Amino acid sequence: MMEFIDQALSAFSGFMWGTPLLILLLGGGLYFTFYSRFIPFRYFRHGINVLRGKYDSDSDPGDIPHYQALSSALASTVGMGNISGVAIAIHTGGPGALFWMWISAIVGMSTKFFTCTLSIMFRGKDDQGQIQGGPMYYIETGLGQKFKPLAILFSVAGLFGCFALFQANQLTQILRDQMITKSGWNLNPNLFNFFVGVGMALLVSSVVFGGIKRIGLVASRMVPFMVALYMGAGLIILLKHLPEVPAMLGFIVKDAFTGDAVLGGAVGTVIITGIRRAAFSNEAGIGTEALAHGAAKTTEPVREGLVAMLGPFIDTIIVCTVTAVVILLSGTWASGDANGVTLTTMAFSAELGVAGKFILVVSVLTFSLSTMIGYSYYGGKCTNYLFGTRWIQTYTLIYVLTLIVGAMVTIDMVINFIDGMFAIMAIPTVTSTVLLSPKVMAEARRYFGALQSSKS
């Protein structure tokens, strides 16, 4: 039975991530980039000033400040996709997959600018009269009732796509590797997985039942710590191999167009793998980012769009690149069948010894928990839209119980299920954003015109 489910999920994921979706995500990102005349990139510094709180006002509508909104989004994106997802990309598509992750992230910055600007422009209200933002709300409010089926499609896929199965699976894997495989302890793996899952469920429950304000507070404290710890270790390794780094970056670019590291030189596999893993890592075009940024306290939609576009840059261009180069420099990627978090742990251990292994375990713990916390909010928002606020607590309970499931199933089942759900979420998100893009540009012209006037 499990083998049948595994094969079905693999076929489902493969079908959803075909050429049409790749064109939608990458083509949509390119469209937003050129249609905006590179505005998100030209105002990168202004976005940082907004993030720093220069324009914050307690009287603005919304739940959390810009910084906490970005932290909540990064709590979901800067996570296991950066540690384990990159390793999976290299294992499946070779080093060249990272290049396509870069390309996807660069155009994804523009995608996030549009989706998250819309999440503020067309906020709706739930059955309690509370302001809500996200793709389902800007689809219904911005495009009208005839497009509501797209909003429902996004929300239904979001209910399942926001289960943190991958994070639970990979956290369990690294703990199992260290406590059973490496230590030689005589523990039953299945029983060990179950108890780790229960522990995660209890820990995550202590935060997620407190709503977005508690999630935003916890995320704003966890994200800087976990990024600094992980990046610090990664940069130490890069400095050790500094003369080799330029050649390695050249190797990544070369492999992106030759596919030499993939069996049969399958360039298509390299491209598909890179875009899939980038979408999983930074979530540009998936719509989840708009759910977090839609809760920001602001009256200026463009400001939140500028803050949101920083996400793919931090997540993929910086953090994912460090992970990938460390794995490649260590040589562990070509040494066997190691995949996911196990491969990344091998790389850090090979370079930093016991300290590297310790840093990886701590990083995986914080990255996984932060993502589990962030995803619960996303799923709750989808529940709220579909069924009303009274069902959010029920969904949250189901959500934390699925962490136990994620701890016990195989990584392939988890990856294929989440990839498939993300693909479904991307269809209404990018489609509606393209249709509403003229309204985003009209708002951007108004905002930047006023900004220039205030400076003169």
| pLDDT tens digit sequence for 74-97 | 555 566 667 777 888 888 778 888
Give the helix/strand (H/E) hosting 131.
strand 131-132
Per-residue pLDDT at 11: 87
Of 24-33, 42-51, 57-66, 98-107, where does mean pLDDT reach its minimum? 57-66
pLDDT (0 to 100) of residue 267: 60
Highest mean pLDDT among 104-113, 184-193, 217-226: 104-113
Give me the pLDDT at residue 63, please: 56
Output the pLDDT for position 175: 82
Average pLDDT, the chain: 81
pLDDT, tens digit, 9 for 90 and up, residues 302-342 = 888 888 888 788 878 888 889 889 999 888 787 766 667 78
pLDDT exceeds cutoff 70 at 154: yes
| Domains with residue ranges and CATH for the chain | 15-447 (1.20.1740.10)
3-state secondary structure (DSSP) of residue 447: helix
Query: pTM, whole model, 2 decimals?
Result: 0.83
| 191-210 mean pLDDT | 83
Q: Which residue has the higher pLDDT, 276 or 166?
A: 166
Instruction: Give me the pLDDT at residue 455, please.
Output: 66
- Rounded to 5 degrees, φ, ψ at 64 are -140, 155
Phi and psi torsions of 406, nearest 5°: -60, -35
How far is Cα 422 from Cα 409, in angstroms, rounded to an integer? 19
What pLDDT shows up at residue 212? 56
Q: Which residue has the higher pLDDT, 439 or 96?
A: 439
The segment with the largest mean pLDDT, out of 29-33, 48-52, 53-57, 175-179, is: 29-33
Is residue 58 over pLDDT 50? yes
Among positive and negative, which fits the CA dihedral 194, 360, 179, 5?
positive
262 has pLDDT over 60: no
Q: Is the pLDDT of residue 131 over 70?
A: yes
Q: Is the pLDDT of residue 414 over 50?
A: yes
**53 vs 29: CA distance, rounded Å:** 28
